[in-house]
Amino acid sequence: MNDENEWGLRPLTPSEANRLRELAEAVGEDLGRFGLAMYNREAPDWETAAGGLEIEVDTFDDAAGGIWLHWTVHPALRLASREAHQSGRPNDSVIRAAGHVHERMASAILSMLKALGYVAEDSDDDYRPFAIKVLSGPG
């Protein structure tokens, strides 16, 4: 049995974590065939990368664990949204536009996954708004 970490979270076993990573890789390959560009927050140029689909693999054995898909917009829109938010303009059109794009892309990604036979759902995690959680692969 895996030990809990300092926050009380238990990591998945190595075989469970590998299964999750393999499923995440398959999701990326399948959605890439639909033309979605991949976004990697681990890449050296992540702050200036054009955006795209980010695949997060959370390897803890809790409700928030699993595969999460996030749409990342272009850095210009990210910066403009952040500046509007930090300047106290929550109703700024750029914030509304970014929210609209995230909402529509989440819906499109969920539709693509379902067409491919994946089981997935919209996020109910407050820390992952507009994300999609992949529950299982096709078949």
**More confident call, 43 vs 3:** 43
What's the confidence (pLDDT) of residue 21? 97
d(CA 132, CA 105): 10
pLDDT for residue 41 is more than 50: yes
Q: Are 135 and 68 in contact (CB under 8 A)?
A: no
pLDDT at 5 over 60: no
| Percent of the chain surpassing pLDDT 90 | 77
Instruction: Identify the three-state secondary structure at position 66.
Output: strand
- Quick: pLDDT tens for 74-126: 999 999 999 999 999 999 999 999 999 999 999 999 999 999 999 999 999 99
